[in-house]
């Protein structure tokens, strides 16, 4: 039976190698930020390219203008032919291409977080043992999210990591009578194999599998001495290294419906970040997930689970690159290191609030409330609370992009950085930008009395004005009433702050007076909601999206325009794209 376990790892490695080769043969997206964070920069900094190559939120878009839209129409997008989709496009408007390169693996490896959560739940650990810290992290900057199929492979390093982590987990689970009793009550080997196997493989074991693992159980007692814990430990080690645990599969005829067990696994690993519970597996066995009503009821119940809050926090954090907060430095700002942890805490709390209160993208873009803690309060011009508080931050701030954490991250020391801010907002539009010039000169020094806007305009006029003037700079200029520390300002160098601008949305060119007006326009834009839906869908399905996905994304955008993120998720679960086996590339 040890040979059987070895064959499992061999198969796992072969499956992984195919994904690994596909990733290596088709590198996608921006590389880790090598441009640094100093100076004004240009669109070479954090550029991200187009479509899937643009990282988390610059990956494709939709909700584009229909064939009858004109550049100056303020109307909503039609659904007949979006920008980037063929007829009716206007090259002067923001491009909304979907140019990913999905593998459609249908053999999706668990992420490190899913593995950790699943093992903890399977073995009923009473505390976190952080076993996933032993696992190699996926390559960053290659795909929009870290659960993308193209980076979740198993090479020799991964196989070794999973082996060692499985051995550690089995040791913890069987180190005492009490710990083993949490996994299984009794000393019936067959019952243990059947019950633990069902939970681990997320389906009942086949008769042949039961026999194989009973032999593994007996081998454990033979090698390590008679006793239930020795047999159970070896079974746990073997099952946690099996491809049936490490991979969520959707095998079968292309286009056929997923089984109840497959849907249970897909939903639970996505929305709760862990393996299905016994109760959910029972529901799958009873056929309750086979009906539209049953599947929707199950989805809605999961959405109210606290674990779903953490998963959606992870989604927004990757989408908006919150992990970069830890890298922020501010020269000349005393004790800035003490502020950095609160940037992440406040942002996470904001995402949690948006999700938990049944809000959606509109509120994320326009809410005038934010979490304010003792470190951030002075930058909002407020009295410092003892701990994070949900506060009204005033009429000058609307949504996440006008909160102190974001403004600090996309500023340079104490100065604003319109280019970086414009690029960050651009990701929410999923616009396609041309490649940056090969040689980008450093930004010029300030002239006497020159504002940041004037300096940036002068600089970008020399290195790509068409891209900057239309697609990047106006979005950053709209936030010029905030300095590099997120503090509001009315003047700079003795001159009034100019936050006016316009942007060529897919629906048409829209003008705005300031960031608040820009965010309201974005909140009403089908392009922006389709972009957001694209990212939700990419995160849910664990793959790139392409042009054939546009119809689904536009349908989800209609939901997002007027309803919450939870309703977007429910709408996605209803879609054949979620419920049927992938047909593969057209």
Please tell me which of 30-39, 101-110, 256-265 the model is most confident about, judged by mean pLDDT.
256-265
pLDDT above 90 covers a percentage of the chain that reads 75
Strand 495-496 and strand 491-492: the pairing is antiparallel
Whether residues 111 and 96 fall in one domain? no
Q: Which two tokens stand for residue 526?
A: 């089908």
**Looking at residue 91, what is its pLDDT?**
58
Please indicate, yes or no, whether residues 15 and 155 belong to a single structural domain of this protein.
yes
Q: What is the per-residue pLDDT across 452-506, written as a single tens digit (0 to 9) for each?
A: 999 999 988 865 567 888 899 999 999 999 999 999 999 999 999 999 999 999 9
Note whether 514 and 546 are same-domain residues.
no
Question: Structural domain tally of the chain?
Answer: 3
- Calculate mean pLDDT across residues 32-43: 39
- Please, which residues bridge with residue 369 across strands? 392
Residue 5 reports pLDDT greater than 90 = no
235-293 residue pLDDT tens: 999 999 999 999 999 999 999 999 999 999 999 999 999 999 999 999 999 999 999 99
pLDDT score, position 77: 34
Please check the confidence at residue 450 and state whether its pLDDT lies above 90: yes
pLDDT at 50 over 80: no
- Residue 524, pLDDT > 70, answer yes
Asked if residue 519 and residue 427 are part of one domain, the reply reads yes
What pLDDT does 514 receive?
A: 98
Domain hosting 561: range is 41-102+526-579
Parallel, antiparallel or unpaired: strands 369-372 and 389-392: antiparallel
Please check whether residues 228 and 240 belong to one and the same domain. Answer: yes
In a domain, 511, yes or no: yes
Report if residue 46 sits inside a domain.
yes
**Among candidate residues 215, 249, 283, the one where a domain is terminated:** 249
Do 81 and 179 sit in the same domain of this protein? no
Residues 342 and 200 reside in one and the same domain: no
- In a domain? residue 297: no
Instruction: Report yes or no on 515 lying in a domain.
Output: yes
Per-residue pLDDT, 386: 96
Residue 500: count of CB within 10 angstroms of its CB: 14
The tens digit of pLDDT for each residue in 390-439 reads 999 999 999 999 999 999 999 999 999 999 999 999 999 997 777 776 77
Q: Provide the pLDDT for residue 468.
A: 85
Rg of the chain, C-alpha, whole Å: 26
With cut-offs at 50, 70 and 90, classify the pLDDT of residue 84: very low
Residue 359 has pLDDT above 90, yes or no: yes
Q: Is the pLDDT of residue 93 over 90?
A: no
- State whether 245 and 378 are in the same domain: no
Which region holds residue 225: left if phi is over 0, alpha if psi is between -120 and 50, else beta?
left
Among 209, 230, 249, identify where a domain stops.
Answer: 249
Q: What is the pLDDT of residue 332?
A: 92
The two tokens of residue 194 are: 């059947």
Q: Are residues 240 and 337 part of one domain?
A: no
The pLDDT assigned to 582 comes to: 84
Per-residue pLDDT tens digits for 158-195: 999 999 999 999 999 999 999 999 999 999 999 999 99
Task: Decide if 120 is inside a domain.
Answer: yes
pLDDT for position 58: 31
One-character DSSP codes across 258-315: PPHHHHHHHHIIIIISSPPPHHHHHHHHTTTTSSHHHHHHHHHHHHTSHHHHHHHHHH
pLDDT attached to residue 478? 98
Per-residue pLDDT at 82 exceeds 50:
no
Between 203 and 21, where is the model more confident?
203
For the chain, give the percent of residues with pLDDT over 70: 82
Phi, psi of 377 (to 5 degrees): -50, -45
The contacts of residue 322 (CB under 8 Å, 6+ apart) are: 316, 344, 347, 348, 405
Same domain, 445 and 540: no
More confident residue, 569 or 460: 569
Last residue of a domain, one of 216, 249, 282: 249
Give domain status of residue 144, yes or no: yes
* 152 belongs to a structural domain: yes
Q: Is residue 32 a part of any domain in this protein? A: no
Q: Give me the pLDDT at residue 37, please.
A: 36
User: What mean pLDDT is reported for the chain?
Assistant: 85
Highest mean pLDDT among 9-23, 44-58, 275-289: 275-289
Together in a domain, 424 and 353? yes
Q: What is the pTM for the complete model shown?
A: 0.85
10 and 139 within one domain: yes
Q: Select the more confidently predicted residue: 5 or 503.
A: 503
Question: Phi/psi at 488 (nearest 5 deg)?
Answer: -70, 145
């Amino acid at each position: 039976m040890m040979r059987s376990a070895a064959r499992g790892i061999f198969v796992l490695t072969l499956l992984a190698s195919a994904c690994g080769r596909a990733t290596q043969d088709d590198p996608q997206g921006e590389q880790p930020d090598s441009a640094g964070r100093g100076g004004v920069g240009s669109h070479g900094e954090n550029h991200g390219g187009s479509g899937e190559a643009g990282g988390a939120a610059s990956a494709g878009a939709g909700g584009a203008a229909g064939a009858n839209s004109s550049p100056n129409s303020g109307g909503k997008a039609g659904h007949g032919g979006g920008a980037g989709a063929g007829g009716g496009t206007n090259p002067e408007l923001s491009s909304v291409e979907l140019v990913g390169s999905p593998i459609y693996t249908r053999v999706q490896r668990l992420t490190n977080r899913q593995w950790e959560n699943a093992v903890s739940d399977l073995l009923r650990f009473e505390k976190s043992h952080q076993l996933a810290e032993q696992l190699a992290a996926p390559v960053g900057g290659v795909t929009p999210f870290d659960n993308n199929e193209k980076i979740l492979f198993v090479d020799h390093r991964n196989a070794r990591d999973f082996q060692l982590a499985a051995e550690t987990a089995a040791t913890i689970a069987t180190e005492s009578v009490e710990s083993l009793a949490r996994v299984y009550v009794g000393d019936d080997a067959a019952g243990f194999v059947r019950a633990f196997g069902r939970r681990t493989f997320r389906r009942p074991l086949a008769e042949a599998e039961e026999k194989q693992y009973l032999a593994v159980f007996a081998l454990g007692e033979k090698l390590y001495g008679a006793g239930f814990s020795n047999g159970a430990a070896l079974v746990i080690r073997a099952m946690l290294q099996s491809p049936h645990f490490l991979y969520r599969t959707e095998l079968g005829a292309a286009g056929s419906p997923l089984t109840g067990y497959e849907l249970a696994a897909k939903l639970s690993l996505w929305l709760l970040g862990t393996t299905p519970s016994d109760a959910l597996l029972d529901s799958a066995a009873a056929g309750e997930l086979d009906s539209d009503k049953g599947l929707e009821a199950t989805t809605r119940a999961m959405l109210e689970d606290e674990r779903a809050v953490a998963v959606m926090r992870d989604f927004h954090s990757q989408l908006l690159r919150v992990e970069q907060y830890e890298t922020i430095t501010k020269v000349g700002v005393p004790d800035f290191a003490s502020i950095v942890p609160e940037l992440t805490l406040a942002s996470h709390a904001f995402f949690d609030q948006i999700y938990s209160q049944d809000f959606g993208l509109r509120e994320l873009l326009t809410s005038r409330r934010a979490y304010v803690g003792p470190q951030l309060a002075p930058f909002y011009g407020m009295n410092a609370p003892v701990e994070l508080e949900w506060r009204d931050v005033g009429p000058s701030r609307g949504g996440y992009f006008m909160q102190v954490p974001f403004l600090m991250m996309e500023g340079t020391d104490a100065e604003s950085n319109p280019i970086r801010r414009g690029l960050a907002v651009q990701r929410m539009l999923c616009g396609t930008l041309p490649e940056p010039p090969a040689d980008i000169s450093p930004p010029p020094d300030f002239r006497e009395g020159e504002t940041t806007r004037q300096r940036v305009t002068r600089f970008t006029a020399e290195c790509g004005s068409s891209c900057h003037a239309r697609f990047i700079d106006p979005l950053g200029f709209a936030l010029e009433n905030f300095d590099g520390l997120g503090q509001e300002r009315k003047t700079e160098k003795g001159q009034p702050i100019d936050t006016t601008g316009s942007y060529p949305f897919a629906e048409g060119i829209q003008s705005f007076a300031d960031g608040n007006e820009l965010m309201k326009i974005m909140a009403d834009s089908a392009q922006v909601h389709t972009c957001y839906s694209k990212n939700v869908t990419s995160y849910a399905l664990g793959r790139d999206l392409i042009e054939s996905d546009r119809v689904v994304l536009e349908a989800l955008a209609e939901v997002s325009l007027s309803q919450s993120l939870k309703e977007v998720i429910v709408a996605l679960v209803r879609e054949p794209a979620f419920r049927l086996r992938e047909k593969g590339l057209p």
